Amino acid sequence: MSTAAETTGGDIEPWEEVTPDAARRLLVAAVEAFAERGYHATTTRDIAGRAGMSPAALYIHYKTKEELLHRISRIGHTRAVAILRTAAQGEGGATERLADAVSSFVRWHAGRRTTARVVQYELDALGPEAREEILALRRQCDAAVRGIIDDGVATGEFDVPDVKGTTLAVLSLCIDVARWFNVNGARTPDEVGALYADLVLRMVGAAGARPAQT
């Protein structure tokens, strides 16, 4: 599936904020190339070719290959922050909000798996300044989930001795979906989101969570 067609798991069309059309086409081509070959193995000629443009046309919109990756990472992480904050600030108790956060985050990583692989796993290719900007967005993701878990511990909904470690585990579970999700697999993004929400509620000892099957 083309990245341009990956719309499942989000309520906005991917890359709609990227203009003009030529810049969007180049960004979509970069996402596909980075996901397929990795950042370092991808050349600007590869990206331009996928977009149906000349290499010279790429530099009109992006000064470097790293600038492309930075923009992809920034847009993707900004979306991730929005998904988790929306859930964290939603109605209901900590149990409902954590389930919503996990299911929404997982749906995004499944439905936008090509994009998510680049966003989540090419961070080290960025230079120090760009990397720090993305790390700051990651810390916001962490804070949103950690806040929900803290609330659940405070109200007695959750039994979590190590909130920081549990937050890392929850986010890692969600993010890793981008590595293995297959559109032709047995489960849809919605079904995987529901499964992971249930697993995480068990992890935090939420009241009413079904016991693990043996």
Q: Does residue 127 come out as left (phi exceeding 0), alpha (psi in the -120 to 50 range) or beta? A: beta
CA pair distance 69, 23, nearest whole angstrom = 13
Region(s) of the chain under CATH 1.10.357.10: 70-204
pLDDT at 183: 87
pLDDT digits (tens, 9 = 90+) for 191-209: 999 999 999 999 999 976 6
pLDDT at 12 over 80: no
Given a contact cutoff of 8 angstroms between Cβ atoms, the answer to whether 26 and 47 are in contact is yes
How does pLDDT run across 116-161, given as a tens digit for each residue? 999 999 999 999 999 999 999 999 999 999 999 999 999 999 999 9
Classify 14 in phi/psi space as left (phi over 0), alpha (psi -120 to 50) or beta: beta
CATH number for the segment(s) 17-63? 1.10.10.60
> pTM for this one?
0.87
Domain with CATH 1.10.10.60 in the chain: 17-63
Architecture of the domain spanning 70-204: Orthogonal Bundle (1.10)
* pLDDT on residue 1: 38
Per the CB < 8 A criterion, the answer to whether 165 and 132 are in contact is no
- Using CA atoms, how far apart are residues 31 and 65, in angstroms rounded to an integer? 11
